[in-house]
């Protein structure tokens, strides 16, 4: 399933964009960085995979950037989410003629062979444009390095979060005096909330995307301190903790506390139409629910994932800027490219407000304006709790591990596969993936 399911009627991230955007993409895949052109401006070519509601916010920010930088001609192109985008990026970079800057998932950094397909960035370049390593969460900043070279600039944190219907939660006594959700500290405490919500709705306690089960699995597995590491054709995984996480998913469906099947669209619709008082889905759905609230009324808020095993860790990722490899860099283009990245981060309050993502740039997220922003401030702690997928060429957002385990977890939620069989099947899939070569290498 797409990382950011789009509202009904909008273009899916998995569909490669057509029309002017796609045509522009073909035109941009030409030669290396060149300043000037017919406009006399310094042209910066940007590629991204943001085709949902957050993409509209990005376009708005691009318009503002262009209005404030009359000497820079920004050409932004959006490709289909996932495989279409990464294929285009790898093909362009391998020939040294991709965009000047691209937006990728930080979990995919190592899988795109940065030493050969990306150009490193210097801290001096960033500092010259007002950015500093101290401006980013330490653990996210560290993930931007490969072999001591800086290859990425983090834009945000986006993660699996817990939305709740305040009207329904008030009716079941699940709100604090300030209107925020009561915090639970175990599986059973949270299941009790879901049982009360199910009794109220007559259908489910919570909704979720049964095809995107990797997200829930990884959240619960990491909450239990489960580790998964891949090295030289082998891997380590804690079977007991993995089974525990899958059993939680199975029990939730078995009790009827969540749907036995719901894709991304139905997952959100269950929350909108009152079939569930909660929904576990990404923070990127905030605009969809805001629009529904304005049209039909939906008093909702959102918080971090519930504490099942001693903490509130959750599956997530970061959008990040990278510089695809160039045969040669025009100094003016390089300068304008870093200026673009710096400006976007320094103005990322709008990115958080409109797109729901938590900006990685700490001067924004730690500022009074963002801390007063609701409901964003209520889940801002997710930056410290986000858990990246394990490092492997087949892991990360839009990668094969997510997709291939998704069909297994869908059967778990559908009660068609028991947790022990699911775990064995997941291990078989991992072993198969380990036997395959990285296609980028």
- What confidence category does residue 17 fall into, taking pLDDT thresholds of 50, 70 and 90? very low
CA distance 275 to 283: 20
Indicate if 394 and 331 belong to the same structural domain: no
Cβ(47)–Cβ(344) under 8 Å?
A: no
Indicate if 221 and 304 belong to the same structural domain: yes
| CB atoms near residue 135 (< 10 Å) | 19
Q: Which of 44, 124, 40 is nearest to 333 (CA)?
A: 44
- Positive or negative torsion for Cα 259, 263, 267, 272: negative
What total of structural domains would you count in the chain?
Answer: 2
In this structure, is residue 2 part of a structural domain? no
CA distance 270 to 262: 9
In this structure, is residue 371 part of a structural domain? no
The interaxial angle of helices 400-413 and 419-434, nearest 10 deg, is 170
- Beta-strand runs (E) in 28-120: 42-48, 72-78, 101-105, 118-119
In this structure, is residue 254 part of a structural domain? yes
pLDDT over 70 (residue 307): yes
The model carries a pTM of 0.88
Condensed to tens digits (0 to 9), the pLDDT of residues 113-168 reads 999 999 999 999 999 999 999 999 999 999 999 999 999 999 999 999 999 999 99
Condensed to tens digits (0 to 9), the pLDDT of residues 379-416 reads 888 888 999 999 999 999 989 999 999 999 999 999 99
Indicate if 150 and 195 belong to the same structural domain: no
Indicate if 312 and 331 belong to the same structural domain: no
Indicate if 173 and 119 belong to the same structural domain: no
CA distance 139 to 135: 12
CA distance 173 to 193: 9
Indicate if 148 and 37 belong to the same structural domain: yes
Mean pLDDT estimate for the chain = 90
Indicate if 150 and 166 belong to the same structural domain: no
Cβ-proximal residues to 426 (8 Å cutoff; 6+ apart), any chain: 242, 405, 408
In this structure, is residue 380 part of a structural domain? no
In this structure, is residue 440 part of a structural domain? no
Indicate if 218 and 296 belong to the same structural domain: yes
CATH number of domain containing 360 = 3.40.190.10
Cβ(281)–Cβ(258) under 8 Å?
A: no
Torsion of CA 214, 220, 221, 226, to 10 degrees: 150
Range of the structural domain that residue 248 is part of: 159-316+387-434
Q: What percentage of the chain reaches a pLDDT higher than 70?
A: 91
Cβ(358)–Cβ(376) under 8 Å?
A: yes
In this structure, is residue 57 part of a structural domain? yes
């Amino acid at each position: 399933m797409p990382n950011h399911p789009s509202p009904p009627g909008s273009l899916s991230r998995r569909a490669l964009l057509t029309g002017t955007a796609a045509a522009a993409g073909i035109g941009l895949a030409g030669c290396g960085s060149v300043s000037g052109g017919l406009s006399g401006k310094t042209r910066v070519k940007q590629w991204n995979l943001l085709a949902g509601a957050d993409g509209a916010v990005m376009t708005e920010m691009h318009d503002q950037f262009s209005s404030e930088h009359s000497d820079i001609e920004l050409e932004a192109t959006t490709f289909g989410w996932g495989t279409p985008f990464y294929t285009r990026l790898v093909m362009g970079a391998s020939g040294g003629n991709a965009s000047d800057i691209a937006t990728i998932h930080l979990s995919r950094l190592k899988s795109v062979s940065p030493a050969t397909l990306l150009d490193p960035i210097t801290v001096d370049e960033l500092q010259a444009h007002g950015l500093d390593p101290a401006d980013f969460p330490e653990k996210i900043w560290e993930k931007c390095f490969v072999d001591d070279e800086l290859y990425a600039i983090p834009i945000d944190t986006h993660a699996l979060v817990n939305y709740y219907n305040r009207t329904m939660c008030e009716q079941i006594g699940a709100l604090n005096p300030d209107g925020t959700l009561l915090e639970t500290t175990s599986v059973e405490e949270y299941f009790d909330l879901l049982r009360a919500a199910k009794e109220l709705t007559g259908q489910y306690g919570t909704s979720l995307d049964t095809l995107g089960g990797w997200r829930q699995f990884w959240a619960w597995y990491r909450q239990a301190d489960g580790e998964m590491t891949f090295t030289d054709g082998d891997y380590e995984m804690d079977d007991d903790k993995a089974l525990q996480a899958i059993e939680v998913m199975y029990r939730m469906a078995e009790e009827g506390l969540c749907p036995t099947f719901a894709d991304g669209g139905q997952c959100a619709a269950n929350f909108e139409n009152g079939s569930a008082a909660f929904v576990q889905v990404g923070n990127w759905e905030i605009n969809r629910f805001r629009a529904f609230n304005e049209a039909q009324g939906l008093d909702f808020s959102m918080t971090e994932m519930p504490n099942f095993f001693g903490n509130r860790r959750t599956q997530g990722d970061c959008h990040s800027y990278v510089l695809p490899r160039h045969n040669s860099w025009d100094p003016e283009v390089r300068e304008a490219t870093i200026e673009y990245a710096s400006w976007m981060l320094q103005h990322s309050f709008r990115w958080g407000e409109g797109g729901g993502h938590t900006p990685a740039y700490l001067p924004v997220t730690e500022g009074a304006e963002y801390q007063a922003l609701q409901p964003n401030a209520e889940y801002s702690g997710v930056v410290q709790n986000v858990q990246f997928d394990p490092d492997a060429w087949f892991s990360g957002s839009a990668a094969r591990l997510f997709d291939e385990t998704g069909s297994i977890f869908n059967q778990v939620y559908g009660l068609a596969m028991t947790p022990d069989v699911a775990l064995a099947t997941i291990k078989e899939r991992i072993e198969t993936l380990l036997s395959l070569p990285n296609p980028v290498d």
